[in-house]
Structure formats: C-alpha cells, structure tokens
Amino acid sequence: MDGPYYVQILQDHLIRNARKQFGGRWGLQQDNDSKHRSRVAQQFMSKEVPEMLNWSSNSPDANPVENLWPIIKRRVEKRKATNLRELDLFLHQEWTKTDMSVLNHLVNPMKSRCLALVETKGERINY
C-alpha cells in the first residue's frame, strides 16, 4: 500500500463516517509508517482530519488493535478466499462480527500495559 492508496481508503471509508458519527470532534491515530508520512497523506490529513494523534511505530505493545489483526487473520485464513473480492468480503465480515468481549479483552489491560511500558522505558513488554 502506498500513500495515495491509503488516502483513497480514508476518503472512501473514514472521513464521511467519522463526520457523521462525531461531527468535527474526532481524531485519527497512526504510526510513522511511510504511507502515513507521505506528502499526499500529510496534505490530506491537514485538510480533512480535525486532530492527528501520532503514535510511535516502535510501540505496538501500547496499541490494542495490533493484537486484533492476528485474530482477524486466523479467521479469514480459515475461510480460504480464492480471489481479492472474497478476501475483502471475508475481512469485512470477520471484522464486523468480532464480539465486544474480544475487544474488551484487548483494551482492558491498557492501564497496566502503559505502566509497564513506562517502567521499561518503552521496551517490549510481556502481556
């Protein structure tokens, strides 16, 4: 994925929904991935996103979504998509049917994880 494709995804899916849900009071968090830092993405963000919340690419332990992706990946792989259209469909379906208890399980320990990250000065932690 490159910067222009990333911006297209944001335009097609995020911006309209975020505005509908939150009006002008919302922000976007992203790490320092090259597509996020691209000129086209930075220009888009400055115009369309009310607040940017930067996130270190070296802090996956502090991002609960990083632990959701392997769960989604396992579910999608079991379904054995045969083309990109099916893969896209399966990803959306598995994301949508993720139970709130799974999300709570990933988010609830954040306070203790953040404290552990402070203790280790940002080094990897076991959780």
Please state, rounded to an integer, the average pLDDT across all residues of the chain. Answer: 87
Task: State pLDDT tens for residues 10-63.
Answer: 999 899 899 998 998 998 888 777 888 899 999 999 999 999 876 665 666 677
Segments making up each domain of the chain, as ranges: 3-57, 61-119
Cα of 4 vs its chain's centroid, Å? 17
Nearest to 36 by CA among 13, 63, 9, 76: 9
Q: Distance between CA 16 and CA 9 in Å, rounded?
A: 11
For residue 101, pLDDT over 80 is answered with yes
pLDDT at 113: 84
Q: What is the DSSP string of 10-68?
A: IIIIIHHHHHHHHTT--EEEE---HHHHSHHHHHHHHHH-SEEEE--TT-GGG-THHHH
Stretch 57-74: mean pLDDT: 80
Nearest to 107 by CA among 52, 44, 65, 58: 65
Percentage of the residues of the chain whose pLDDT score is greater than 90: 51
Q: What is the token pair recorded at 119? A: 């203790």
- Which burial class, exposed, middle or buried, applies to 41 when counting CB atoms under 10 A from its CB (0-12, 13-18, 19+)? buried
Q: Which residue has the higher pLDDT, 49 or 117?
A: 49
What is residue 77's DSSP assignment? H
Q: Is the pTM of this model over 0.75?
A: no
